[in-house]
Amino acid sequence: MNFTLHVWRQKNVDSPGQMVIYPARDISPDSSFIEMIDVVNSGLAEKGEDPIAYEADCLEGICGCCSMTINGIPHGPGRGATTCQLHMRSFQDGEHIYIEPFRSAAFPLVKDLMVDRSSFDRIIQAGGFISVNTGGAQDANSIPIPKDDADLAFDAAQCIGCGACVAGCKNGAAMLFTAAKVAQLARLPQGQPERYRRVVHMVETMDNEGFGSCTNQYECEAVCPKEISVRYIAEMNRDYIKAKLCK
């Protein structure tokens, strides 16, 4: 398969950027999107040109590093998959593909397709700790938890912090990410002692990092590679209101 890539190239956040056109030739339809970029980068390196900078690690949809917007969609076409899980058979032979980094003021650009998502780390850090002594694995199994609560906690815990929800939102909101991180503890007995203090600290840190506000258009859920539901945003908002009213 052959493609024409329109790739955003930018040396750093202070330098101007532009779209640069690269051919991608003889690409296997079974190649992942990341493997396709590696093929293009090999050709650039052979010519002594600067390869396209991007971030990737696990290549299994776990790490959340491969944050690219492909043809205007975070992680590209298809649902429930990261960029590294996207295969070239998802595109038409000869297609023009536009590749950009995730766009958000809270995700400053590092280079080309790489952004700094450490703002997510600071939101998680603001959540603090749990004061319950969880013990070993066998002790955790002895704590009775309703199945519905356990399932919802595990669903929320699937969030890999990739930032697709922010890139997909017209306001650049991080509500789905923050809500998932709040919910994975709020649904469990171990998370109850700090439940309301945690939600206030995490939401206020999210606001201080410069993320936008949610206007309930569900773009975040549509592009989330783990298909996390916006229901967690409603739950987080309820907990935040309770925390503020009971303060």
| pLDDT tens per residue, range 51-88 | 999 999 898 889 989 889 999 999 999 889 999 999 99
- Give residue limits of the domains in the chain: 3-114, 118-245
pLDDT of residue 76: 94
Nearest to 84 by CA among 57, 102, 107: 57
- 33 in Cβ contact with 89 (< 8 Å): no
- 102 in Cβ contact with 166 (< 8 Å): yes
pLDDT of residue 146: 87
pLDDT of residue 171: 95
Under CATH, which number does the domain 3-114 receive? 3.10.20.30
pLDDT of residue 131: 76
pLDDT of residue 78: 80
pLDDT of residue 130: 76
pLDDT tens track for 88-97? 999 999 999 9
Nearest to 183 by CA among 207, 205, 214, 150: 150
Kindly give the parts of the chain with pLDDT less than 70: 132-141, 247
pLDDT of residue 191: 87
Under CATH, which number does the domain 118-245 receive? 1.10.1060.10
